Amino acid sequence: MATVKLWTDTEAEAHPVVARVFADIRATRKTDFINNFWRALANHPDQLDRTWAQIKDVMTGPTTLGPAVQEMIYIAVSVANSCTYCVHSHTAAARAKGMTDDQHAELLAIVGLASLTNHLSTALQVPVDPQFQV
Amino acid sequence: MATVKLWTDTEAEAHPVVARVFADIRATRKTDFINNFWRALANHPDQLDRTWAQIKDVMTGPTTLGPAVQEMIYIAVSVANSCTYCVHSHTAAARAKGMTDDQHAELLAIVGLASLTNHLSTALQVPVDPQFQV
Amino acid sequence: MATVKLWTDTEAEAHPVVARVFADIRATRKTDFINNFWRALANHPDQLDRTWAQIKDVMTGPTTLGPAVQEMIYIAVSVANSCTYCVHSHTAAARAKGMTDDQHAELLAIVGLASLTNHLSTALQVPVDPQFQV
Amino acid sequence: MATVKLWTDTEAEAHPVVARVFADIRATRKTDFINNFWRALANHPDQLDRTWAQIKDVMTGPTTLGPAVQEMIYIAVSVANSCTYCVHSHTAAARAKGMTDDQHAELLAIVGLASLTNHLSTALQVPVDPQFQV
Amino acid sequence: MATVKLWTDTEAEAHPVVARVFADIRATRKTDFINNFWRALANHPDQLDRTWAQIKDVMTGPTTLGPAVQEMIYIAVSVANSCTYCVHSHTAAARAKGMTDDQHAELLAIVGLASLTNHLSTALQVPVDPQFQV
Amino acid sequence: MATVKLWTDTEAEAHPVVARVFADIRATRKTDFINNFWRALANHPDQLDRTWAQIKDVMTGPTTLGPAVQEMIYIAVSVANSCTYCVHSHTAAARAKGMTDDQHAELLAIVGLASLTNHLSTALQVPVDPQFQV
């Protein structure tokens, strides 16, 4: 279904960069599970390396928002960008990091309402108030 | 610049629905300032009424996320939907509700990274892992 | 402000393809006014020719929907694609072709609501009901 | 496949808000069929209630455009927002409300052409003509 | 799965416009294979005719970029527009026209990075430098 | 107009990370000009550092596509994501790196046509042909 092959563990172990990144994903996340995004990205080892470095930095490093809120913001962007895979993976991640059903409901209420007012503002071409300027 | 006229306070006061909504916005937000979005939406009083009712309900009612996080999610969606007005108004609102510079930086880091992996996932057409299914 | 120059009438008249298309726009629309979209597109005469041919065919030919409804659908797409210029030009066109204020209000109500449920459906990854399949 | 469970009728009947909304959907649409969007949204009863109230108000209330045209505008937005579920459900709804094959063809011609000129206008960054300003 | 039926060769041969376009696709591409996009579009023969004419003109005519680069640009747009079908079909086409794995990796690196900086620029509402104006 | 302040050279020099990145941009691009994107991003020095590192790596490193084609792909994504700033800055960059007017015309022809068929494919929900599967 993917436009590239999904790398097996055996294939990953034979490539030094991919092997290193997969090992780091497993160590950082404390699980043996490597999801398909990384198995697809392994076809481009430099991109895999660069992308994982950013995810590790932004999503597992120090945070003022907390891990569940981080994932909720990730879901919001993924929904607006219509990314099926990302909605699934980050909804699962948000739950694993503590998002409650009530928080999920509140997230969806905001995402839905934002899209509504985004489209209305664009349709009306509302000029930015001077009060909102920095 | 808008595709409709922006209602002045005098015009608003002459229309019962618009007058009621404007008064409620002022009372709820504890400010005399009515931003242009509502002044544009006033051309369609029913839409104004329905939209404000939702904003009031979702963005000023009970919240498990807190007002600043709510606004940050709103910004995330508005960025992904390329809504100039909304990015300005909700960045101002998030700051007014306590978003710090560090939180703004963290928000942008997640929004940027999410858009990157959204596009990569779509380009690779990554199949959803069974583990992410409910 | 454009990424290309906007062609004046004098420049247009000196280029046979551009001159022919501009003349046809004027004749078809029964106005001397050539809006900036065509003046920008004139930098690429083949694209100008091909695009005008389609606009003329689709938007001024036989229609089962009527000219105002056609323009309202055009606005809906332009809003969802965040095209500032197109929202302005097609809102003006819809009005010129008879869209009333009530119809504009109804259009915005549908556009806003559709974007709301679009985002909710994507966030929930709702599976398509068998009843909706052809 | 959804990120939430789809509520069965038995589950819906046990929750007063969900039961009331499902009953109203059935009564309003004069069918026993409840499509998956509502079964997914039932996980968030307030959102279900608020969303159905709007759909009922906008899509089944008084209209100057007519039910088929309303659904065609809904399709146009759903296509531009890449919402798979919504394209399916509203194409089915438009047909049920009388959209003919010729109207579907005309709708697609406009949606396709609008996306083409939306992208061209954005690429050229065409400045809005003073004539289009309100 | 489609919202319209997919035309078989037998059905296509019975309709003069569709038969002519299908024959031209086969002759131009030197293959008997007609992919589903055209089989779906056949429901609207005029749209089929007009769309194929453009594809033939733009994608198989004289090119300063070369066929593989043309398809890579097509992929980039299709990813940003979240078009599942188009990502699949144009990735296959790019490979058939000579896109190497290294070029695919480079394409994805640019697409991903562009989406990242697109979202950052929109979030920051960066004003266009005078140096970039034409 | 931005949602953050734009850093002056004096401010940049006082911050070690920002000063280092600005110096590297100037050295890499062989120009004293620092465009507004970096002056806005300077508010978040880590993000500035990480983003410039990627741009430098992807857009100024070894390339199989060539600098002008890289920028054209960047434009294509920026157009589809409706990023005003990015369309301006990367159109200027593409020209500086050798994109001719004919190549610009060809780029726009592909971007426009891709958006047209993206929307048609989504509206028709065309199923992916088995021949396109890896």
Confidence of residue C29 (pLDDT cuts 50, 70, 90): very high
Residue D134 reports pLDDT greater than 90: no
Q: Coil, strand, or helix at residue E70?
A: helix
CATH of residue C119's domain is: 1.20.1290.10
State the pLDDT at residue A44: 96
CA distance A4 to A22: 18
Which of C5, C50, C134 is closest, CB to CB, to E4?
C134
Residue D58: partners with Cβ closer than 8 Å, 6 or more residues away: C106, C109, C110, C113, D70
- Inter-residue contact D4 to A99 (CB < 8 Å): no
Q: In degrees rounded to 5, what are phi and psi of residue E49?
A: -65, -50
Q: Is C5 on the interface with B (CB under 8 A)?
A: no
Taking every pair of Cα atoms in chain A, the longest distance, rounded to a whole number of angstroms, is: 59
Q: In degrees rounded to 5, what are phi and psi of residue A43?
A: -65, -20
CA distance B40 to B42: 5
pTM of the model: 0.97
- Tokens matching residue F99: 């994109």
Indicate if the alpha-carbon torsion angle E120, E123, E129, E134 is positive or negative.
Answer: positive
Average pLDDT along chain E: 97
Residues in chain B: 134
Q: Does residue F54 share a domain with residue F88?
A: no
Residue D117: partners with Cβ closer than 8 Å, 6 or more residues away: C37, C51, C55, C86, F112
State the pLDDT at residue E48: 98
Q: Which domain holds residue D70?
A: 63-124
CA distance E49 to E38: 10
With CA atoms as reference, the chain B residue closest to F2 would be B88
Residue A26: partners with Cβ closer than 8 Å, 6 or more residues away: A32, A34
CA distance B3 to A134: 25
CA distances from E71 to A21, C79, E107, F111 (A): 31, 27, 11, 10
Which of F82, F88, F112 is closest, CB to CB, to C82?
F82
Q: Does residue C56 share a domain with residue C90?
A: no
Q: Does residue C47 share a domain with residue C15?
A: yes
Beta carbons of E134 and C50 less than 8 Å apart:
no
State the pLDDT at residue A50: 95
Beta carbons of B105 and F46 less than 8 Å apart:
yes
Q: Would A132 be classed as within a structural domain?
A: no
CA distance B54 to B21: 12
Which of C3, C65, C132 is closest, CB to CB, to D125?
C3
Q: What is the pLDDT of residues E42-68, one digit of tens each?
A: 999 999 999 999 999 999 989 999 999
Q: Does residue A52 share a domain with residue A72?
A: no
Q: In degrees rounded to 5, what are phi and psi of residue C82?
A: 55, 45
Confidence of residue C97 (pLDDT cuts 50, 70, 90): very high
- Inter-residue contact D87 to D78 (CB < 8 Å): yes
Q: Would A29 be classed as within a structural domain?
A: yes
| Ramachandran region, residue A99 (left: φ > 0; alpha: ψ -120 to 50; beta: rest) | beta
Beta carbons of F1 and A133 less than 8 Å apart:
yes
Measure the CA angle with vertex E77, ends E73 and E79; round to 5°.
115
Beta carbons of C82 and B82 less than 8 Å apart:
yes
State the pLDDT at residue F84: 97
Range 12-71 of C in CB contact (< 8 A) with F: 43-44, 46-47, 51
ipTM of the complex: 0.96
> Residue E69: CA atoms inside 13 Å, Cβ hemisphere, count?
18
CB under 8 Å, gap of 24 or more: what pairs does E95-98 form? Answer: E97/E67, E97/E68, E97/E70, E97/E71, E98/E67, E98/E68
Q: What is the mean pLDDT of residues C61-66?
A: 94
Q: Does residue E7 share a domain with residue E36?
A: yes
Closest C-alpha among A70, F11, E76 to residue B110? A70
Task: Measure B96 CA to nearest chain C CA, in Å.
Answer: 26
Residue B1 reports pLDDT greater than 80: no
Q: Does residue E111 share a domain with residue E71?
A: yes
Instruction: Give the distance from CA A75 to its chain's centroid.
Output: 7
- Tokens matching residue D116: 């083409």
Beta carbons of B133 and D1 less than 8 Å apart:
yes
Confidence of residue A16 (pLDDT cuts 50, 70, 90): very high
Q: What is the pLDDT of residues B46-105, one digit of tens each?
A: 999 999 999 999 999 899 999 999 999 999 999 999 999 999 999 999 999 999 999 999
Confidence of residue C133 (pLDDT cuts 50, 70, 90): confident
Q: Would D14 be classed as within a structural domain?
A: yes
Across the D:E interface, residue pairs with CB atoms under 8 Å apart total: 21
Residue E100: count other Cβ atoms within 10 Å of its Cβ: 12
With CA atoms as reference, the chain A residue closest to C87 would be A123
Q: Would D103 be classed as within a structural domain?
A: yes
State the pLDDT at residue D133: 84
Q: What is the pLDDT of residues A68-80, one digit of tens each?
A: 999 999 999 999 9
Q: What is the pLDDT of residues C107-128, one digit of tens each?
A: 999 999 999 999 999 999 999 9
State the pLDDT at residue D1: 78
CA distance B78 to B83: 5
Which of A44, A51, A83 is closest, CB to CB, to E105?
A44
Q: Does residue F120 share a domain with residue F67?
A: yes
Q: Does residue E82 share a domain with residue E31?
A: no
Q: Is A121 on the interface with C (CB under 8 A)?
A: no
Confidence of residue A133 (pLDDT cuts 50, 70, 90): confident
Q: What is the pLDDT of residues F67-86, one digit of tens each?
A: 999 999 999 999 999 999 99
Q: Would E18 be classed as within a structural domain?
A: yes
CA distances from C113 to A108, A119, C80 (A): 14, 9, 12
Q: What is the mean pLDDT of residues E26-43?
A: 98
Q: Does residue C35 share a domain with residue C12?
A: yes
Q: What is the mean pLDDT of residues A44-66?
A: 96
Q: What is the mean pLDDT of residues C76-86?
A: 98
Percent of chain D's residues with pLDDT above 90: 97
Q: Does residue D106 share a domain with residue D81?
A: yes
State the pLDDT at residue B133: 84
- Name the domain boundary from B22, B44, B61: B61
Q: Is C3 on the interface with E (CB under 8 A)?
A: yes
Q: Does residue F56 share a domain with residue F17?
A: yes
CA distance E105 to E94: 13
Closest C-alpha among C45, C44, C1 to residue C19? C45
Q: What is the pLDDT of residues E109-122, one digit of tens each?
A: 999 999 999 999 99
DSSP assignment of E12-50, as one string?
HHTSHHHHHHHHHHHHHHTSS---HHHHHHTTSHHHHHH
Q: What's the number of domains chain D is made of?
A: 2
- Inter-residue contact F1 to E125 (CB < 8 Å): yes
Touching subunits for chain C (3+ Cβ pairs under 8 A): A, B, D, E, F
Confidence of residue D122 (pLDDT cuts 50, 70, 90): very high
Q: What is the mean pLDDT of residues F88-93?
A: 98
Closest C-alpha among E84, C37, F116, C53 to residue D109? F116
Average pLDDT along chain C: 97
- Name the domain boundary from D38, D61, D84: D61
Which of C80, C84, C125 is closest, CB to CB, to A119?
C80
Name chain C contacts of E133, Cβ cutoff 8 Å. 1
Beta carbons of B115 and E116 less than 8 Å apart:
yes
Q: Would E129 be classed as within a structural domain?
A: no
Instruction: Give the distance from CA F119 to its chain's centroid.
Output: 24
State the pLDDT at residue F2: 94
- Inter-residue contact A17 to A48 (CB < 8 Å): yes
Task: Measure B66 CA to nearest chain D CA, in Å.
Answer: 19
State the pLDDT at residue B134: 74
Beta carbons of B101 and F43 less than 8 Å apart:
yes
Residues in chain E: 134
Measure the CA angle with vertex B129, ends B125 and B133; round to 5°.
115
- Name the domain boundary from D9, D32, D61: D61
Which of F79, F122, F125 is closest, CB to CB, to D119?
F79
State the pLDDT at residue A33: 98
With CA atoms as reference, the chain B residue closest to C93 would be B3
Average pLDDT along chain B: 97
Q: Is B5 on the interface with C (CB under 8 A)?
A: no
Q: Would B47 be classed as within a structural domain?
A: yes
Q: What is the mean pLDDT of residues A87-108?
A: 98
Name chain D contacts of A87, Cβ cutoff 8 Å. 3
Beta carbons of E87 and A47 less than 8 Å apart:
no
CA distance F2 to F5: 7
- Tokens matching residue E65: 């970029």
Q: Is F10 on the interface with E (CB under 8 A)?
A: no
Q: Does residue B110 share a domain with residue B76?
A: yes
Percent of chain E's residues with pLDDT above 90: 97
Q: Would A129 be classed as within a structural domain?
A: no
